[in-house]
């Protein structure tokens, strides 16, 4: 780009040199035709160099941008593949999409364009200034006056810009939040008669943001006005002509010496505007880069480089397990000791916030305990690779995650090469095959496009996926909670097939669904308060008995546990 900028100036210098050759001819002097043609051909060659270097710099910068984008996206996806799964439960898909897609894309203009534009913006006035100082230092100084005034105006307009930009971003975020709140919750707002209050809050935020913008404009108006006036071509032309005519009269310069200032002087001020726009893009790209850096700095979940020992059984043991979400924060789990024997069902119950979901998510290693350890067949989870762990453990949660791909690929996510016959078999077992076959493209239907599935149907697809995975240990967050009434019975029957013969850890929200569990563990403030069978815990008349009485008032007795008992009897 430096070569391109210099080459672009050569034809303009050529015009000046032609003027030096041709102007004396007006007074009867002979024209040096050979020299004139040399100037012409050098200018033409410079234009060709300009074309080649512009294309070359653009090609190189775009290749660099593509390489950077691929490199960053691969690093981001690789990092996301190694962070604890709990990281995703604390963030929505929009956060990941913004980092991997939007923030990386925000670097495009900086790398592919702004760097080149800034290079040209710096090179042009420097080269022109050197050339003009060679021709006439006094007139060159005059030509620099508008540039200096423009820089002063720009600095005045940018006073306190760092704090103002932070306030601007905060105001924009507040406005966006108020807008989303007003539109996303419009049904509730209208239902409860809060339309006026909600609209009033949005209006107040908008007025406050508008007032901030007006104050910022007043703050920078003087500097912007000075910069605009100083950088206008008319001012440069008037100054150069006025000073040039005076210098001609006092014989400081000759007529041909004035020509380069009229031709090239106007090029001195244009780069300041380009630099201003590039500075804004640089700020936006810098913020995007900081967000990318924060994501790349997320701590990874450590795992061994080589395959660890193979578990000898599906026996799961929690040994003095404690857990906190961050250093210094209160412990969510405290000294939990728990054994899940192979082929048994263990239900976790307790009030909201007692630690049920946290404990269950430690088994598929969404995070590691801060104290104690969890073993499968005597092997610590931290000694296994992810592939080894997920060959032992699978899970079905309330919030079913289906990818935007075919239903077939969603089912065989753990076994991409699984034959269609196996996919159909587990779909039938999960009570979802009939619904899939009703779709226009059957198992090739894409979730979210030509396969619009209800909550219960999505759960049954997830259950089919877990069936195909065929792991000996299953973590289940009561899946019927997301099912509509019509499909709840189908989900329960699918679950009864899924849990048969497996070591099951289930988070029970409705106690009536786990009365047949081999052991029920009552959690209270992160500790094991009670454990035993349904009958034993009722007989004690403790926490579980009180939870059971409350559950019976809210729900009738039904659930997958009854279906499981019937299946085992059969």
Q: How many CA atoms lie within 13 A of 90 on its CB side?
A: 11
Contact (Cβ atoms closer than 8 angstroms) between residue 69 and residue 287: no
Pick from 85, 141, 529: nearest CA to 334? 529
Q: Could you give the CA distance from residue 553 to residue 249 in angstroms, rounded to a whole number?
A: 106
- CATH number at 316-398+472-569: 3.40.50.300
pLDDT in tens, 403-435: 888 999 999 988 888 899 999 988 888 888 888
Contacting residues for 403 by C-beta, under 8 A, at least 6 apart: 409, 410, 413, 447
| Mean pLDDT calculated for residue range 165-175 | 79
Contact (Cβ atoms closer than 8 angstroms) between residue 151 and residue 271: no
Contact (Cβ atoms closer than 8 angstroms) between residue 113 and residue 278: no
pTM passes above 0.75: no
Two tokens at 194? 């809060």
pLDDT at 557 > cutoff 70: no
Percent over 70 (pLDDT), the chain:
86
More confident call, 204 vs 28:
204
Q: How confident is the model at residue 84 (pLDDT cuts 50, 70, 90)?
A: confident
pLDDT in tens, 356-367: 888 988 998 888
pLDDT in tens, 454-508: 877 888 888 888 888 888 998 887 655 555 555 556 666 666 666 677 888 988 7
Q: What is the largest CA-CA distance in the chain?
A: 125
Q: What angle do CA 298, 300, 305 make, to 5 degrees?
A: 155
């Amino acid at each position: 780009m430096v070569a391109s900028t210099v080459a672009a100036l050569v034809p303009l210098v050529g015009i000046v040199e032609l003027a030096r050759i041709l102007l004396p001819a007006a007074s009867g002097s002979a024209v040096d035709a050979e020299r004139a043609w040399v100037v012409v051909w050098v200018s033409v060659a410079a234009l060709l160099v300009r074309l080649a270097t512009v294309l070359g710099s653009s090609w190189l910068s775009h290749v660099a941008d593509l390489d950077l984008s691929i490199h960053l996206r691969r690093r981001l996806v690789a990092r996301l593949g190694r962070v604890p799964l709990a990281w995703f439960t604390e963030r929505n898909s929009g956060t990941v999409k913004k980092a991997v897609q939007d923030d990386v894309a925000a670097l495009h203009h900086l790398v592919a364009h702004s760097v080149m534009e800034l290079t040209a913006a710096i090179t042009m006035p420097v080269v022109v200034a050197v050339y003009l100082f060679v021709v006439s230092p006094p007139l060159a100084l005059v030509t620099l006056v508008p540039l200096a005034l423009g820089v002063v105006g720009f600095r005045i307009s940018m006073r306190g810009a760092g704090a103002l930009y932070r306030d601007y971003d905060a105001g924009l975020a507040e406005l966006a939040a108020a807008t989303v709140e007003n539109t996303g919750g419009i049904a509730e707002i209208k239902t409860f008669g809060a339309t006026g209050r909600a609209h009033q809050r949005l209006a107040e935020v908008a007025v406050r943001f508008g007032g901030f913008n007006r104050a910022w404009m007043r703050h920078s108006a003087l500097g912007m006005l000075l910069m605009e006036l100083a950088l206008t071509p008319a001012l440069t032309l008037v100054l150069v002509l006025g000073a040039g005519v005076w210098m001609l009269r006092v014989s400081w310069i000759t007529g041909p010496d004035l020509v380069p200032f009229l031709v090239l002087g106007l090029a001195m001020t244009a780069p300041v505007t380009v630099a201003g726009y590039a500075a804004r893009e640089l700020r936006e790209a810098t913020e995007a880069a900081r967000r990318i850096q924060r994501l790349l700095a997320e701590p990874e979940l450590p795992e061994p480089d080589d395959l660890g020992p193979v578990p000898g059984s599906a026996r799961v043991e929690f040994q003095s397990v404690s857990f906190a979400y961050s250093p210094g924060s209160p412990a969510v789990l405290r000294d939990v000791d728990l054994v899940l024997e192979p082929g048994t069902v263990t239900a976790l119950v307790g009030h909201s916030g007692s630690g049920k979901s946290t404990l269950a998510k430690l088994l598929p290693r969404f995070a590691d305990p801060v104290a104690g350890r969890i073993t499968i067949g005597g092997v610590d989870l931290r000694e296994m690779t992810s592939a080894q762990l997920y060959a032992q453990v699978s899970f079905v949660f309330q919030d079913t995650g289906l990818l935007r791909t075919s239903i077939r690929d969603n089912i065989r996510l753990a076994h991409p090469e699984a034959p269609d016959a196996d996919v159909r078999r587990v779909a039938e077992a999960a009570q979802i095959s009939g619904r899939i076959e009703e779709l226009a493209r059957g198992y090739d239907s894409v979730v979210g496009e030509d396969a619009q599935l209800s909550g219960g149907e999505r759960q049954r697809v997830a259950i089919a996926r877990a069936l195909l995975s065929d792991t000996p240990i299953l973590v289940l967050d009561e899946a019927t909670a997301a099912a509509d009434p019509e499909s709840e019975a189908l989900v329960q029957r699918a679950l009864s097939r899924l849990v048969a013969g497996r070591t099951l850890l289930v988070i029970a929200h409705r106690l009536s669904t786990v009365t047949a569990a081999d052991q029920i563990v009552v959690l209270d403030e992160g500790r094991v308060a009670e454990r035993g069978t349904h009958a034993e815990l009722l007989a004690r008349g403790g926490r579980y008995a009180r939870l059971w009485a409350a559950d019976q008032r809210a729900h009738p007795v039904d659930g997958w546990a009854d279906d499981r008992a019937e299946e085992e009897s059969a």
